């Protein structure tokens, strides 16, 4: 029998805010606010299931972060992994290699450069590429639990959704994200 489990909210997240309401007041983070934010993140219907699963995991982690703020970083990492997997798949689908001349997988920055050279993406600022690479590496090989405020984490996850959506967009076929 399935049971609904209610988790205690992480007290650290109680006073956190994200964005402003219609009157310009800060919006306190809660499940409704997070669901509204997530609903604006684009997803292309042609995105492969493995990439969709990584993006879905990032959205679930955002909601679960209310119970444990450290889960927000798991959402960021899943979103960055979705970008990397999408880049690799789209580059391979174009007939190009995702390996360097030594047969090793292309690094984060090289994946972006290859995608740009193939016309899959427009040139992204170097600081964004460096930040994404450094953050992905730090999250993939942590020495301790890492935290980001909602303002930073949600923007990173949203940007990842937008990059993946661009890679799989065909015309105006983007839909809002869902949390299934």
Model confidence pLDDT, tens digit, residues 49-88: 999 999 999 999 999 999 999 999 999 999 999 999 999 9
Q: At 175, is the pLDDT very low, low, confident or very high (cuts 50, 70, 90)?
A: low
CATH architecture of 48-168: Up-down Bundle (1.20)
Mean pLDDT of the region 109-133: 78
Mean pLDDT along residues 90-99: 95
Q: What does the pLDDT read at residue 24? A: 94
Cα separation, 82 vs 47, whole angstroms: 10
Distances (CA, A) of 144 to 58, 141, 154: 20, 9, 21
Instruction: Say what percent of the chain tops pLDDT 70.
Output: 88
Is the pLDDT higher at 57 or at 174?
57
pLDDT in tens, 9-41: 999 888 899 989 999 999 999 999 999 999 999
Q: Where are the domains of the chain?
A: 48-168
């Amino acid at each position: 029998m399935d049971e609904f489990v209610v988790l205690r909210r992480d007290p650290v997240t109680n006073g956190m805010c994200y964005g402003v309401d219609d009157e310009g007041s800060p919006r306190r983070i809660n499940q409704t606010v997070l669901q509204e934010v997530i609903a604006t993140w684009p997803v292309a219907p042609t995105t492969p299931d493995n990439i969709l699963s990584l993006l879905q995991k990032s959205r679930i982690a955002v909601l679960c972060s209310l119970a444990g703020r450290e889960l927000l970083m798991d959402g960021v990492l899943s979103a960055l992994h979705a970008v990397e997997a999408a880049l690799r798949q789209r580059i391979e689908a174009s007939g190009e290699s995702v390996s360097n001349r030594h047969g090793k997988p292309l690094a984060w920055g090289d994946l972006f450069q290859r995608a740009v050279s193939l016309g899959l993406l427009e040139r992204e600022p170097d600081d964004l590429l460096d930040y994404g690479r450094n953050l992905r590496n730090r999250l993939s090989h942590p020495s301790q639990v890492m935290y980001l405020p909602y303002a930073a984490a949600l923007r990173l996850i949203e940007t990842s959704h937008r990059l993946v959506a661009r890679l799989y967009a065909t015309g105006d076929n983007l839909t809002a994200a869902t949390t299934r």
